[in-house]
Amino acid sequence: MLFLFSDTGGGHRTAAEAIDSALQRLEAGGVRTEMIDAFAACGIFPLREGIKSYGALLNVQPSPYPALFHLSNGRTRARIMTELGKPFIRGNFRQLIERLDPSLVVSVHPLLNELARETINAIGSPAPLVTVITDLVTIHHAWTADASADQYVVASAEAVRVCTSRGIPAERVHNLGLPIRDGFSPPYDALEAKRALGLDPARHTLLVMSGGEGGGRLRSILRRIAGTVRALNLQVVAICGRNEGLRERLTALAPRFREDAKILGFVDNIADYMRAADVLLSKAGPGTIAEAAACGLPIIVCDYISGQEAGNLAYVESRGAGVVALEAPEVSATLRRFFRDPNVLREYRQRALESARPHAAQDIARLLASMLPARAKVAVS
């Protein structure tokens, strides 16, 4: 089984890894999987460099990325964009597929579906193509272009409606949730979860995240809420992902909180931090939202990537899993509301848990396993 992804943001890779590990458990290691960052492995200049610049595009202010998203987000425009990119990846990608000869191809990236379909058809491979859409609500047309996948996995009823409104038959769209890795669940012992990370169990913890690239307006918001954080005696843990510049800037800002504020780069154990936290302050990344919900961790959404994450704001609020507060005064007011009345936080925690789909990766793995040639007759959910 071949998983196609790209390290643009953190969500595509973690989704693929989550499905892979669920599949290995389900099949007791009986399915061989390959994880391929397709643009890094097969792309050539300038496509490979263009895709690699995603983090940089997000982190310059004002970011040109939203304009690129909107300019390319249309049925025909998405097609044109894909066609323009193909000459810079097609040859190597075809060789890769021929060499690996997968029984099933799973794409977890919007720009790889059409290319995978074209290549599978060109070499006469019988491998079905499954697209796992790793956005919750706002679905770029590149995900659904030409309805080129045999099956689509989506994470919300809203996403089902988008897919069917674009002509994908409902029986090919499976609402199974966003795949998240193991370990995202409420802590058995919240104090112990804090202690295990060297945090003060006697104080509330505010976890701060901004996706895999650590982009956006995080620093300016943190600077302006520092007084509230101190007044509420919150312990801050900020995870900056791959953004070293942000890490340095937040480290310089840290004395405005308390001396024990932790400013971290990319960490592999996000689940541990989420289980130890009382509230998450984050941009509206779909993976982060799904992971926090599974931990029963209320989220304050303070930023979003215009375009692809726009729908996630209403998603969070409609589920009651958190609050959207895009300006510092609103963030401060929300923190006061959360930490001055334990009932408020308890209710959000409960609703976050109710909105969670912690078994998404297993359900998707089951669907994929049922599509492998030897089990083609097993019904898919």
Give contact residues for ligand UDP (rule: CB under 6 A): 9-11, 14, 211-213, 239, 241, 266-267, 270, 285-288, 291
Angstrom distance (rounded) from CA 329 to CA 279: 17
Q: Give the shortest CB-120-to-ligand UDP separation in angstroms.
A: 26
CB atoms within 10 A of CB 192: 12
Q: Which residue lies nearer to ligand UDP by CB, 149 or 263? A: 263
DSSP three-state, residue 366:
helix
Q: Which residue lies nearer to ligand UDP by CB, 278 or 303? A: 303
Q: Give the shortest CB-341-to-ligand UDP separation in angstroms.
A: 28
Q: Which residue lies nearer to ligand UDP by CB, 10 or 110? A: 10
Q: Which residue lies nearer to ligand UDP by CB, 267 or 376? A: 267
Residue number, nearest CB to ligand UDP = 285
Q: Which residue lies nearer to ligand UDP by CB, 120 or 261? A: 261
CB 155 within 8 A of CB 136: yes
Residue type, 151: Q
The token duo for 43 is 């792309």
The token duo for 69 is 């998203």
Q: Give the shortest CB-374-to-ligand UDP separation in angstroms.
A: 32
Q: Give the shortest CB-223-to-ligand UDP separation in angstroms.
A: 21
Q: Which residue lies nearer to ligand UDP by CB, 44 or 266? A: 266
CB 354 within 8 A of CB 293: no
Q: Give the shortest CB-299-to-ligand UDP separation in angstroms.
A: 11
Q: Which residue lies nearer to ligand UDP by CB, 36 or 239? A: 239
Q: Give the shortest CB-12-to-ligand UDP separation in angstroms.
A: 7
Q: Which residue lies nearer to ligand UDP by CB, 117 or 247? A: 247
**First-residue to last-residue Cα distance in the chain:** 19
10 Å CB burial of residue 217 (0-12, 13-18, 19+) is middle
Q: Which residue lies nearer to ligand UDP by CB, 14 or 82? A: 14
Pairing of strands 322-324, 129-132: unpaired
3-state helix, strand, coil in the chain (%, to 5): 50, 15, 35
The token duo for 356 is 């969670």
DSSP string, 152-169: EEESSHHHHHHHHHTT--
DSSP three-state, residue 355:
helix
Q: Give the shortest CB-17-to-ligand UDP separation in angstroms.
A: 9
Angstrom distance (rounded) from CA 286 to CA 301: 11
Q: Which residue lies nearer to ligand UDP by CB, 18 or 104? A: 18
10 Å CB burial of residue 197 (0-12, 13-18, 19+) is middle
In order of 206, 220, 282, the CA distances from 297 in angstroms are 10, 23, 12
Q: Give the shortest CB-68-to-ligand UDP separation in angstroms.
A: 15
Angstrom distance (rounded) from CA 110 to CA 12: 10
